[in-house]
Chain A
Amino acid sequence: MSRLLEVKNLAVSFKTYGGEVQAVRGVNFHLNKGETLAIVGESGSGKSVTSQTIMRLIPMPPGRIKSGEMLFDGIDLAKKTDKEMEAIRGKDIGMIFQDPMTSLNPTMKVGAQIGEVVIKHSKVSKAEAKKRAVELLTLVGIPFPEQRVNQYPHEFSGGMRQRVVIAMALASNPKLLIADEPTTALDVTIQAQILELMKDIQKKTDTSIIFITHDLGVVANVADRVAVMYAGQIVEMGTVDEVFYDPKHPYTWGLLASMPSLDNEAEEELAAIPGTPPDLTNPPKGDAFAARNPYAMKIDFEQEPPMFKISDTHYAKTWLLHPDAPKVEPPASVQRRMRKVDNVYRTPVLVAKDGE
């Protein structure tokens, strides 16, 4: 497994009237070639800021990268200039956003927009670019591509527009595709189609995908590995089986418990996580999740927990994994889903501050 992307100790903040918001506070993860990493989190968790920072799309000021590196194929994107990033964006890294209407130019034909991406990154003629556009529309499953390539975005339905956006993102065969909530605004049947499409394309082109979402169902459907973010940090990371069937962090438990499953009894109450995420202008001392954590211990309010390793691929940032911590049971609905996962360490191992 070779690593396409390595993010080390990334910290990003924003200057606002109310103070400096610590949007991302020390994030470490990697992405292997050909795999899909899902970044799950709620609003304010820092997942979008992380992905936009990788693409260097955050205006700086008021944003700034306080520390860290983002190694894409060995090159640190944090140190690149705007001009250098222009050559990388669209070519090596493609991005898909949530709202297709804001990603597409309403006054330009769809074929021309896709063609633009092709021409920018490879020297071909307009006719060649149009041919490629038709190829891409076929790849993303748009019927009658030769006619539709001459249509405007408003002539497509929501799901179709998202497919066009995917076609644009794939135009130059990027190594990495960053999809930021690409199906959140779509109906459930259209979402299912788009997810199938993305998995299909990944099989064909071996693109690596970072998939950002807040929907755990979607994660279970597309991801190979999962990173759970809360208050600007990754609190749990592992393979999709590890995170769903053997979760270790109380926030992950909370997320899983607050999703009604189609087979649970309507009588028992949905275990909601009380309160709201903290204000990151003044990140709380200790564990940021402590104020909302029914399993919180005194130390959670004093010291930030270290990252513990539970298997070669499974990490969690919680004091509950400390040998002196009491043994706790996750909520009932989470326990029902749990099952045995392979290759777990006998005891969790403490991880060094800036490594994995």
Chain B
Amino acid sequence: MQQLPKIPKEMFETAGIDRAQAEKIEKPSLSFWQDVFIRFRKNKLAMFGVVLMVLLVFMAIFGPLMVKYDYATNDLLNANQAPSSEHWFGTDELGRDVFARTWEGARISLFIGLAAALIDLFIGVVWGSISGYRGGRTDETMMRVADILYGVPYLLLVIILMVMLGQGLGTMILAMTITGWINMARIVRGQVLQLKNQEYVMASQTLGATTKRILFKHLIPNATGPILVTMTLTIPSAIFTEAFLSYLGLGVPAPLASWGTMASEGLPALEYYPWRLFFPGLFICLTILAFNVIGDGLRDALDPKLRK
């Protein structure tokens, strides 16, 4: 049996309740994106990807300014030089500085990748969200159109476009986005189908919200996770497709250089002048790696089930 602790009498006076205290929230406010950022930061591989991406973008912007050679000047006397202190990445068959061309090419490849991703984003999000929200006939029709377009042989489409519109940056981007948006549309539609039956959407409907309001204020903001991840993974896909098309000779016209055209020109010279393929090839790989790793990291950071 224990001894009762000695307690002064006044301690037993009633204290009453503080209502405001009863409703107080202790923890600091953490918005959704802050939480995502914290989880993303913990992923070392993803952070490595971010660093890599930052370096690549930095070089794309400042790289060509670092050397006195520009990407288009021919210097036939110095053709096919191996990397040296003069030409850090060597020269190609026309004597052009590979370093300058690589970073000039980076601008083009990254631009193509980003442009394609953004166009896919806009078309895909609008198409997918309207289709998913409206449902019924509208949904069926819209998705059938997408399916048909998806089924058209891609390469054939690109070649026809190239022939009709001529080679160039614009044509290249058009070629990639003509079917690229379909993936995004499907993802967004899936999200919207899931989300439109949530009670907060019903609440908004009872308040009298228009479809536009529901799409832009409720559905799309809650789908940004998968949208962002898809976008991040579209960029490397676009870069790779560009490289592939360039390799087939459908790329940007000379003297413009993209990594794809450089690789395409470098391949036949692989045996004797390997640096001409090596550098563009290396940076294609690094860029794709960086964005893929960032995309994966984002997907994990956004996954509510992994949330603690």
Do chains A and B interact in one complex? yes
Q: How far is the CB of A276 from chain B (nearest CB, A)?
A: 7
Would you call B38 an interface residue if the criterion is a C-beta within 8 Å of the partner chain's C-beta atoms?
Answer: yes
* CB interface residues, A 312-351, toward B, < 8 Å: 319, 322-326, 349-351
Bound together, the chains give a CA A129 to CA B3 distance in angstroms of 58
CB distance from A169 to the nearest CB of B (A): 26
Which A-chain residue is minimally distant from B2 (CB atoms)?
A: A350
User: Contacts A17-B38, A275-B22 hold; do A298 and B11 have CB atoms under 8 A apart?
Assistant: yes
A74 touches B (CB below 8 Å): no
Query: Is there contact, CB below 8 Å, between B14 and A295?
Result: yes
Contact B22 A276 (CB under 8 A): yes
> Which residue of chain A is the closest to B39 with respect to CB atoms?
A17
Among residues 272 to 297 in chain A, which have CB atoms less than 8 Å away from a CB atom of chain B?
Answer: 274-276, 279, 281-282, 290-297
Q: Is A352's CB within 8 Å of the partner chain B?
A: yes
Q: Is A302 an interface residue (CB 8 A)?
A: yes
- Given A282-B26, A349-B1, are A324 and B9 also a contact pair (CB < 8 Å)? yes
Q: For the complex, give the distance between the alpha carbons of A300 and B16 in Å.
A: 11
Tell me whether B4 and A350 are in contact (CB under 8 A).
yes
The smallest C-beta distance from B107 to any residue of chain A, in angstroms, reads 40
Contact yes or no, B7 A322, CB < 8 A? yes
Complex formed: what's the CA distance from A303 to B11 in Å? 10
The answer to whether B2 touches A352 (Cβ under 8 A) is yes
B18 part of interface (Cβ distance < 8 Å)? yes
B12 within 8 A of A: yes
Asked whether, in the complex, the Cβ of A291 is within 8 Å of the Cβ of B11, the reply is no
Q: Which residue of A lies closest to B14 (CB)?
A: A297
Pick from A62, A276, A297, A351: contact of B11, CB below 8 A.
A297
Bound-state CA distance A62–B308 (Å) is 9
Instruction: Collect the chain B residues with CB atoms within 8 Å of residue A290's CB.
Output: 15
Could you say which residues of chain B place their CB within 8 Å of the CB of A326? 12, 14
Q: Nearest-CB distance from B269 to chain A (Å)?
A: 54
Q: For window 6-25 of chain B, which residues contact chain A by CB distance below 8 Å? A: 7, 9-19, 21-23
Q: A17-B38, A276-B23, A291-B21 are in contact. Are A296 and B14 (CB under 8 A)?
A: yes
Residues of B within 8 A of A62 (CB): 308
Indicate if B68 sits at the interface (CB-CB under 8 A): no
Contact between chains at A299 and B4 (CB < 8 Å): no
Report if A16-B308 is in contact (Cβ < 8 Å); known contacts: A281-B27, A322-B4, A350-B4: yes
A294 and B15 CA atoms in complex are apart in Å by: 8
Instruction: Decide yes or no whether A301 CB sits under 8 A from chain B.
Output: yes
Query: Do A323 and B14 touch across chains, with their CB atoms under 8 A apart?
Result: no
- For this complex, into which size category does the number of interface residues on chain B fall? 20 to 34
- Asked if A143 lies at the interface with its beta carbon under 8 angstroms from chain B, I say no
Q: Tell me if B15 and A301 are in contact (CB < 8 A).
A: yes
Q: Which one of A279, A281, A300, A349 lies within 8 Å of B15 (CB-CB)? A: A300
A350 cross-chain contacts in B, Cβ below 8 A: 1-4
Q: Per a CB cutoff under 8 Å, which of A275, A297, A302 touches B23?
A: A275
Residues on B with beta carbons closer than 8 Å to the beta carbon of A16: 308
Contact across chains for B16 and A296 when beta carbons are under 8 A apart? yes
Give Cα A291 to B15, complex, Å: 9
Which chain A residues border B38 with CB–CB below 8 Å? 17
A300 to B15, CA, bound (A): 9
Bitwise interface map of B from 118 to 139 toward A, beta carbon under 8 Å scored 1, else 0: 0000000000000000000000
Count chain A CB atoms within 10 A of each CB in B2, B13, B18, B21 and give the residue with the most.
Answer: B2
Q: Give the residue of B2, B23, B26 whose beta carbon is less than 8 angstroms from that of A281.
A: B26
Q: Write out the residue numbers on chain B whose beta carbons fall within 8 Å of the beta carbon of A292.
A: 17, 22
Restricting to A55-101, which residues have a CB under 8 Å from any CB of B? 62
- What CA separation (Å) do A349 and B13 show in the bound complex? 22
- Report whether A299 and B14 are in contact in the complex, using a CB–CB cutoff of 8 Å: no
Q: Are B26 and A298 in contact (CB under 8 A)?
A: no
A299 CB contacts on chain B under 8 angstroms: 7, 11-12
Among A293, A297, A349, point to the contact of B12 (Cβ < 8 A).
A297
Residues of B within 8 A of A323 (CB): 4
Chain A: minimal CB distance from B145 (Å)? 35
What residues on B are CB-neighbors of A274 within 8 Å? 17, 19, 22
Tell me which of B1, B3, B17 contacts A293 (CB under 8 A).
Answer: B17
Tell me, rounded to whole Å, the shortest Cβ–Cβ distance linking A261 to chain B: 25
Q: Is the CB of B16 within 8 A of A351?
A: no
Q: How far is the CA of A324 from the CA of B5 in the complex (A)?
A: 11
A residues less than 8 Å from B17 (CB atoms): 274-275, 291-294, 296
Find chain B residues with CB under 8 A from A319 CB: 12
Complex contacts, A352 vs chain B, CB 8 Å: 1-2
A239 to B51 CA separation, bound complex (whole angstroms): 64
Question: How far, in whole Å, are A16 and B10 apart by their CA atoms in the complex?
Answer: 39
30 contacts between A and B (CB under 8 A): A16-B308, A274-B22, A275-B17, A275-B19, A275-B22, A279-B27, A290-B15, A291-B22, A292-B22, A293-B17, A294-B16, A296-B14, A296-B15, A297-B11, A297-B15, A298-B11, A298-B12, A298-B13, A298-B15, A299-B12, A306-B5, A319-B12, A322-B4, A322-B7, A324-B7, A324-B12, A325-B12, A352-B1, A352-B2, A353-B2
Closest 7 CB pairs between A and B? A275-B22, A299-B11, A350-B2, A279-B26, A296-B15, A297-B12, A298-B11
B: residues with CB less than 8 A from A are: 1-5, 7, 9-19, 21-23, 26-27, 38, 308
Beyond A298-B10, A302-B11, 18 additional pairs, beta carbon < 8 A: A17-B38, A274-B17, A274-B19, A274-B22, A275-B17, A279-B27, A281-B27, A292-B22, A294-B17, A296-B14, A297-B15, A303-B7, A306-B5, A322-B7, A322-B12, A324-B7, A326-B12, A353-B2
